[in-house]
Chains A and B, each alone.
Chain A
Amino acid sequence: MAKTTYYVPIGPIHPALKEPIRVEAEVEGEKIVKVDVKRGFAHRGIEYMGMKRNAIQTLYLSERICGICSISHPYAFVIGSEKALGIEAPPRAQYIRPIIAELERIHSHILWIGVIAHEIGFDSLLFWTWKGREKVLDVLELITGNRINYAMYMIGGVRRDLKESHIKALRDMITYYWEFTEHMKEVFLSDPVYKARTRGVAQVPKDMALKLNLVGPTARAAGLRMDIRQDIPFDAYADMDVKAVVPQDIVGEVRGDAYDATMVRIYEIEQSLDIIEYCIDNLPEGRILAIPNYIALLNKIKKTAGEAIGAHEAPRGEVVHYLKYDGTRDGPSVWKVVAPSYNNINSWGYCLLGAEVADIPVVVAYIDPCLCCNDRVAVVRDSTGKMLDYSFIHKKAVEKTRALEKELGVRK
């Protein structure tokens, strides 16, 4: 019999992918009949680097785990560190931190909505949504000094205070986005074309979502009421009543597809606006850092032992940092990061099976994957399948670097 299925490998490096991952699919006509997802192409050993640096350096390293969640990782890091070291941030800082985190959620969600429009081939909509995103980036730049990588958090507080002008800019922004989300609801949720491309695509029922360990908006789109800000509240989140946004509360039914994920994200932007408004209305006065002198902070860290887990609800789901300080170094002796995309990628295999080739971009994009966050371990094997140990790879890497340096004449 003639061959009826074709093997389509995508990645690890592919023009359609922004980050390296490999999807191997067997297609029969337009239908995907077999699929395998391989990850582990973006391991950077960032935790190992962090365990050799002091806590302040590692905090800023954690900001570089992800370019979009550049507040979520530091947030989980400071929460974990403060618990481990017994430092409590002053109330004002506890209210400023959620504001920055929610601003990040707004920009990340709008970014995602643009990306999904791009993936279904509607590029003018991508530019329209990203035009709306500029406003929040401007506000972030005004408050923190940069559009991305905000360098705002510190163990025991925040580094920059909110001024009157910032609060005014925040209020302007809130008004702007209430209008913008209304537009987005019409453009995305009431649009027949958008509905046709996302209804029933990447559909994950509730029990399957639990089985696949999905987190964040992906799990909430499937109807699971889970959100770190609701389940383990911290900082100012504990003072307000944050409730997970789920489709059954918005429209009364859950389908758990890409359309529901869009809805959850748009409504989460509105929730973030409410949280920011609450924080600026109730902003306490006072200091912003528990230990303003960083050198004193490092000395305290050096003398304190403890371990803790810090968790934060990032735009893509929960990020968890495990930290252990042993009281001999000024940095963590163990640092372990769990990023949300790792769990969410589990859904690809399930969603792609039986889907059509044209649905691949939507399935891939609907979880808002961030691959640079999720690779935590890399194993290298030689041609016989034997695992190569660390010292051997390191030796080889040094040799190669030296050889390249010589070849290119790099200055030392």
Chain B
Amino acid sequence: MPTKAMFLMIKQALQKPFTNPFPVKHAPVNVTALIEKVQKGEVQIYPPIPIPEEFRGKIHYDPERCIGCRFCITVCPANAMEWIPELRKIRHYVSRCMFCALCVDVCPGKKFPGEEKPVKALSISEDFLLADYDKYSDNLIEEPPEAKEKGL
């Protein structure tokens, strides 16, 4: 007996796939070779689906604007913020962060001369491709440049 479900399934089989085949349609045999080809422009990848506005991606930290109030450390549920006492600034570990954006909410930021309103030191960026082999890689740590130079 034909049922509604059968019709649905047959209809589905004829339609285009619903998902976005990001980055390529089939899993590549050799990932490194694929990345090289993409870099050379020989292969096109399907772009990721656009993200909505106010998407909570990687937290961006601008040390110039930081006044060292430590509010972000107080509220951060994941302890992803570390205090650097020598510089009175913070270091943000993206690998610990759970993207709640509470730190962005509390950050007071600093007003540079000539500006109307203070601008926050922390902001939500649109980055979400964060996979890495090393949780301490440069891509996953946001810190003042001096901290790195002085090895703090």
Contacts and interface: CB of A to CB of B under 8 A. Distances in A.
Interface stretch (B2-10, B36-44, B111-119, B144-152): B2-10
Given A187-B8, A192-B1, A145 B55 contact: yes
B52 interface: yes
**Interface of chain B: mostly helix, strand, loop or mixed:** loop
Interface residues of B, number: 27
B52 A142 contact: yes
Interface string B135-149: 010000000000000
- Interface centre among B12, B75, B124, by most A CB within 10 Å? B75
B65 interface: no
Nearest to B13: A124
Contact of B52 (A60, A141, A151, A193): A141
A220 B42 CA distance: 58
Interface string B66-108: 0000010011110000000000000000000011111001100
Given A131-B18, A145-B56, A60 B100 contact: yes
B4 A187 contact: yes
Contacts, number: 80
Contacts of B51: 141
B106 A294 contact: yes
A187 B5 contact: yes
B4 A186 contact: yes
Interface string B36-66: 0000000000000001101110000000000
A257 to B, nearest CB: 20
A145 B101 contact: yes
Contacts of B124: 145
A160 interface: yes
Contacts of B75: 54, 56-57, 294-295, 298
A125 B5 contact: yes
Chain A interface category by residue count: 35 or more
Interface string A193-210: 110000000000000000
A389 interface: no
A173 interface: no
Contacts of A295: 71, 74-75, 106
Contacts of B74: 54, 295, 298
Contact of B8 (A128, A138, A141, A192): A128
**Interface of chain A: mostly helix, strand, loop or mixed:** helix
Nearest to A130: B18
A211 interface: no
A186 B2 CA distance: 13
A142 B105 CA distance: 18
Given A54-B74, A60-B77, A146 B12 contact: no
B99 to A, nearest CB: 7
A150 to B, nearest CB: 9
Contacts of B18: 131, 134
Contact of B3 (A149, A160, A191): A191
Interface string B2-38: 0111001100100000100000000000000000000
Contacts of B136: 411
Contacts of A125: 5, 9
A159 B77 contact: no
A107 B102 CA distance: 25
Given A53-B77, A294-B106, A411-B136, A151 B56 contact: yes
Contacts of A141: 51-52, 55
Interface in A41-68: 53-54, 56-61, 64
Contact of A56 (B4, B56, B77): B77
Contact of A61 (B1, B8, B77, B106): B77
B1 A151 contact: no
A400 interface: no
Contacts of B55: 141, 145-146
A383 interface: no
A183 interface: yes
A190 interface: yes
A258 B124 CA distance: 44
B35 to A, nearest CB: 27
Contact of A191 (B4, B76, B100): B4
Interface of B: 1, 3-5, 8-9, 12, 18, 51-52, 54-56, 71, 74-77, 98-102, 105-106, 124, 136
Interface of A: 53-54, 56-61, 64, 122, 124-125, 128, 131, 134, 138, 141-142, 145-146, 149, 151, 159-160, 183, 186-187, 190-194, 294-295, 298, 411
11 contacts: A56-B75, A57-B75, A57-B76, A61-B77, A122-B5, A125-B5, A145-B54, A145-B124, A151-B100, A151-B101, A159-B105
Closest 7 A/B residue pairs (Cβ): A60-B77, A145-B56, A57-B77, A151-B100, A186-B4, A142-B52, A187-B5
